[in-house]
Amino acid sequence: MRLQRHVLFMALLIGVLAPLILRDEYLMHIGVLIMFSIMLATSLNLIVGYVGEFPLGHTAFLGIGAYTAALLSLRLGAPVYVTILAGGVMGGLFGLAIGAVTLRLRGPFFVIVTLCFAEVLRLIANNWISLTNGPMGMSGIAKPRWIESQGILGQKTSFYYIGLVMAAFALHVAYRFVNSNMGRAAIAMRENRLVAQSVGIWPFYFGLVTFVIAAILCGFAGAFYAHYISFVGPEVFGFSFMVSMIIMVLVGGKGTLIGPVIGPIIIVVLEEYLRDLKELRLSIFGLVVMAIVVFRPEGLMGFMARRPELYAGK
């Protein structure tokens, strides 16, 4: 755990210094996407890596956060710090409602029902035209004035640092959670639910609290994404975001604190380099997931954490 903390501090230091060295608009755009993806991967990892459940509808909270920010910004003219906070709160409320239903289910039933919730929200966003503007989406979401007054590079750099702060906050929440009694109870549930119950751990309660925390972090990410892109459409509930989150968590290593940092860096960079391949890109990512599940199910960080044990065995 100490090693992971030191690595995270080092990553934060590199993240702070990177814009001072890489004075490039495109690289700053990649940096913003990495920070956004770290938030998403960290939130999903809390459920997948520590509770042991696999919600395929985690994009529901991303979309709720994004649409909340868009509506507050366009309809009420709310400032960014209010819309981002509201996105997280709404994500948490929907997480409480959805988790209260889905966490009573296990295995494939949990997976399918969470996916159905996300699909229902996508259909609502697509058809409630008076509220969401339907398939045309909501454009022109305001950026802070102090950001709009800058050039393109300055705007992207500012969003990068906002994303860095938010990603650091998400990782701090995950770190505090993992090292708390709540996190230890969640890990006990993941390892053996019956044994956890025998020592007084209530799986539904601890699972629900974790689910809500993850939904709040995902809602924050959605609100941040809405202001950076200045557009939100029904596709934010789509399965493509879910696939990216899953790959990031699996590649980096589920159940680790560093995995949700390493995974997004690798995947975002690969997505940019493979963008010209269009549909073939998804097939490549599918093969990557299959290879990881078969050969390295613990991910890169999980594999590295086990190497000292392997060497000791020799």
> What does residue 186 show for φ and ψ, rounded to 5 degrees?
-65, -40
pLDDT above 70 for 308? no
Separation between Cα atoms, residue 22 and residue 284, nearest integer Å: 29
Q: Average pLDDT for residues 238-242, to the nearest whole number?
A: 85
Separation between Cα atoms, residue 276 and residue 285, nearest integer Å: 14
Separation between Cα atoms, residue 171 and residue 193, nearest integer Å: 26
pLDDT per position as a tens digit, 123-175:
999 999 999 999 998 998 988 888 888 888 999 999 999 999 999 999 999 99
Based on C-alpha coordinates, what's the Rg of the chain?
19
pLDDT per position as a tens digit, 21-74:
888 899 999 999 999 999 999 999 999 988 888 888 899 999 999 999 999 999
Strands 231-232 and 138-139: antiparallel
- Predicted pLDDT of residue 188: 85
pLDDT per position as a tens digit, 257-272:
888 999 899 889 888 8
